[in-house]
Structure 1
Amino acid sequence: YDEKKLEELRSKAPWTSDPTYFKSVAVSPSAIMKMMMHCHSGVEKGLKKGGNPIEVMGLLLGRPDPSSPKTLVVTDVFPLPVEGFETRVIADDEDVVNHMIALGESMERTRREKFMGWYHSHPFDVGIHSHCFLSQTDLTTQLQWQRAEDPHGNPFLAIVIDPLRSLAKNVPEIKAFRAYPPEYNSPVPNQCPDGSIVTSEQARLELWGSCWNRYHELGVEYYMSGSARNVMGILTQNFLWMRTLGSTPMLDSENRQRYPERVAAAAEKLGKIDLGTSTTTTSSTTTTTSSLGSGGRMGTTSQQSRGRAYDYNVNRLLTSSTAGAGTSGTGDKGASKEKELGNACQGVVEL
């Protein structure tokens, strides 16, 4: 990013005059991973103690985006030794505050970035609605941060994570918020933090808590830095075998749908092949086949004959060495039949 443009944006601080200035948040993959791991650790810790999941808290590292001024960028996160229950998660311990100050100074000195927000979890239960909202305590904490940081060119952000719902849905359940100043009132009646209009008071409380009209939501998106993208590109080129080992054709929906069709087509082709009587010698086994064609033997039906021919030849294709196998007697004819069988079964064997 352009440091000069960033400093200009910080000095102007347009967010101080427009409570809804920021519209979106871009979060790095590493930051998402760290937050989710931290929140899940709180869930596990609480359950292991025989109680409810524990809320956790951490700090966000990042900046406003000078190329897209109405976007905040979260580059990294730092978990804090702060735990709580329900809606009371605050960093009021003196040692924790001193740790935050020292860590913040170190980040500004070494990485030229500031702490620009905080995150915490709401591991209440898995219900119909997400538990990503700001409680009264959360709102008070966020307002304190904004009053202290916003005027100095560092707009502060709050992120709330619902770890239980994230586990249930298998995707991060995360929302980002900023608080309205006390003197600000939304010009749109009954407008919720996400911009929707909800007239039912009970519905508003269920979705956004008792402070539903005192904060607004920012859209969350994910980004990957140029260096991370280059690493992923190298891995994709050099380790394609990982994709091969980690995938199965039968997992593909098209292959699943066409599998019965391929089996039927292979069976039909096998039924049309006249094997006659031949002796084929491979490197390890000598096998004699007789009367497996359309005539059958010992009174078997043509359908049973085709089934036996299919079973025998599929098994032979999968277990014997077809490349470089020696033939005796009718070698050329046997090789021709083998090729014919291989073509018939190819669509099935690939799966």
Structure 2
Amino acid sequence: MDPYPSSSSSSSIAQKTWELENNIKTIDTPAPTTSTDTSFLSDAIFHYDEAAQLKFQQEKPWSNDPNYFRRVKISALALLKMVVHARSGGTIEVMGLMQGKTDGDTIIVMDAFALPVEGTETRVNAQADAYEYMVDYSQTNKQRVVALLDFCDLEERVEPDLVLNWIEDQSQNIKLLPFVSLEAGRLENAVGWYHSHPGYGCWLSGIDVSTQMLNQQFQEPFLAVVIDPTRTVSAGKVEIGAFRTYPEGYKPPDDPVSEYQTIPLNKIEDFGVHCKQYYSLDITYFKSSLDCHLLDLLWNKYWVNTLSSSPLLGNGDYVAGQISDLAEKLEHAESQLAHSRLGPLMAPQRKKDEESQLAKITRDSAKITVEQVHGLMSQVIKDILFNSVRQSNRSRTETSDPEPMVET
């Protein structure tokens, strides 16, 4: 038995781990009904009914209910593309567009693509060239693929999957003509935009709220997705949020308690001012037989970087920033506590707020500790997998060598 895991098996294990960590559900594909039927034709979620989508947009059920859309389904392929794009930006915010459709109160994201946008560490905005690229990409994506092939001196009009199969299986016999139209033939419209918040959580800033409100005014239905690539690497799970804004002047009822997230001290004011202007949607992920091949290709391109990277070493600046932010929050809480002691009695509500603030600081501290322990455990496991085997083989070789003969 080979002690070294093969590249393909290691890639498969890493991909399965990523899917389990993010709870990606595989859509059951029904068996083919005829001999000519194929499994990938049975993926109903990929069927686009243009008439039904147009009717839904004309009815506008969301205009009567600001909370109409409550769920988001994101394909595993789109999720991985967004995470890779967000991670490639480092500490700079990036931006992209999502394509998909609607199904009742659910927005389904089928694909995503990056936009040529120049961002900063705190904001990202699309300019005229980005909007032009967005329109060109969407129009090109909607056109049907038509390839003209010179196959055994026979010019034929073929479908995209046949083009790919022929190129793979009979690459020696096919000669592509000078022009081959490579449009994707995707009919889905743009259903939202995504951007990254490197290191400071998934929420909408004031600029994000203004951008999303403008999008919802002219491009409904539309969704805003935020990804934190830095926390994704640190936690080992995709840190993502999906949001929609309320109409201007709308006062939402008290929201239920949402999942707690750490907000840096220098972002708390921006977060608190606008947090009542939007709401979050539940996110689930899916993949099907149509996704599997493309997901494997994309994963095989990047999985080695994931395996060789270390959250402890790669996120050193992020961890230092977290600890510094935690220290500032403690100093801020201590100063407030000292001020309150000057008075004879503390108001009950103020005391409750201070206790809540200290509780949040405690949770932030515990979160940093857990992430560091997980990173250390990951390093230990990698050391056992890749170094212990070589050390054991080396020791086995040394013990198997014959002992030298010594003359007496």
TM-score (normalizing by structure 1): 0.53
What amino acid is the match of 2:123? R
* Number of the residue aligned with 1:54: 92
The answer (yes or no) to whether the contact 2:205–2:270 under 8 Å persists in 1 is no
Give runs of aligned pairs for residues 289-308 of structure 1, distance below 5 A.
none
* Number of the residue aligned with 1:76: 111
* Number of the residue aligned with 1:145: 215
Q: CA 1:196/1:19 → structure 2, altered by over 3 Å: closer, same or farther?
A: farther
* Number of the residue aligned with 2:76: 29
> Which residue of 190, 194, 209 maps to 1:119?
194
> Which residue of 111, 122, 130 maps to 1:87?
122
Is 1:169 the counterpart of 2:235? The answer is yes
Once residues 245 and 278 of structure 2 are traced to their aligned partners in structure 1, the CA distance between those partners, rounded to angstroms, is 4
* Number of the residue aligned with 2:379: none
Once residues 293 and 134 of structure 2 are traced to their aligned partners in structure 1, the CA distance between those partners, rounded to angstroms, is 33
Q: CA 1:73/1:86 → structure 2, altered by over 3 Å: closer, same or farther?
A: same
* Number of the residue aligned with 1:100: 134
What amino acid is the match of 1:106? T
| Structure with bigger gyration radius | 1
What SS class does the counterpart of residue 106 from structure 1 fall into? helix
Give runs of aligned pairs for residues 260-299 of structure 1, distance below 5 A.
none
Give runs of aligned pairs for residues 109-258 of structure 1, distance below 5 A.
109=143, 110-124=185-199, 131-150=201-220, 155-188=221-254, 191=255, 205=268, 208-228=271-291
Once residues 221 and 165 of structure 1 are traced to their aligned partners in structure 2, the CA distance between those partners, rounded to angstroms, is 19
Q: CA 1:59/1:230 → structure 2, altered by over 3 Å: closer, same or farther?
A: closer
Once residues 230 and 78 of structure 1 are traced to their aligned partners in structure 2, the CA distance between those partners, rounded to angstroms, is 18
The structure carrying a bigger helix percent of its residues is 2
The answer (yes or no) to whether the contact 2:98–2:113 under 8 Å persists in 1 is yes
Once residues 25 and 196 of structure 1 are traced to their aligned partners in structure 2, the CA distance between those partners, rounded to angstroms, is 17
Q: CA 1:230/1:140 → structure 2, altered by over 3 Å: closer, same or farther?
A: closer
* Number of the residue aligned with 2:101: 63
* Number of the residue aligned with 2:340: none
Once residues 24 and 206 of structure 1 are traced to their aligned partners in structure 2, the CA distance between those partners, rounded to angstroms, is 28
What amino acid is the match of 1:214? Q
**Aligned-pair distance for 1:85?**
2.2
What SS class does the counterpart of residue 21 from structure 1 fall into? coil
* Number of the residue aligned with 2:65: 18
What SS class does the counterpart of residue 105 from structure 1 fall into? helix
- Aligned residue pairs: how many? 205
Q: CA 1:183/1:124 → structure 2, altered by over 3 Å: closer, same or farther?
A: same
Q: CA 1:230/1:104 → structure 2, altered by over 3 Å: closer, same or farther?
A: closer
**Aligned-pair distance for 1:207?**
10
TM-score (normalizing by structure 2): 0.46
Q: CA 1:143/1:206 → structure 2, altered by over 3 Å: closer, same or farther?
A: same
The answer (yes or no) to whether the contact 2:77–2:287 under 8 Å persists in 1 is no
Percentage of pairs with the same residue: 38
Q: CA 1:218/1:208 → structure 2, altered by over 3 Å: closer, same or farther?
A: farther
Q: CA 1:231/1:136 → structure 2, altered by over 3 Å: closer, same or farther?
A: closer
**Aligned-pair distance for 1:99?**
1.1
Once residues 160 and 231 of structure 1 are traced to their aligned partners in structure 2, the CA distance between those partners, rounded to angstroms, is 24
What SS class does the counterpart of residue 94 from structure 2 fall into? strand
The answer (yes or no) to whether the contact 2:97–2:115 under 8 Å persists in 1 is yes
Once residues 118 and 184 of structure 1 are traced to their aligned partners in structure 2, the CA distance between those partners, rounded to angstroms, is 23
Per-residue CA shift, 1:75-98, capped at 9, x if unaligned?
Answer: 111101113224321102x22221
What are structure 1's unaligned runs of at least 5 residues? 44-52, 126-130, 233-314, 320-351
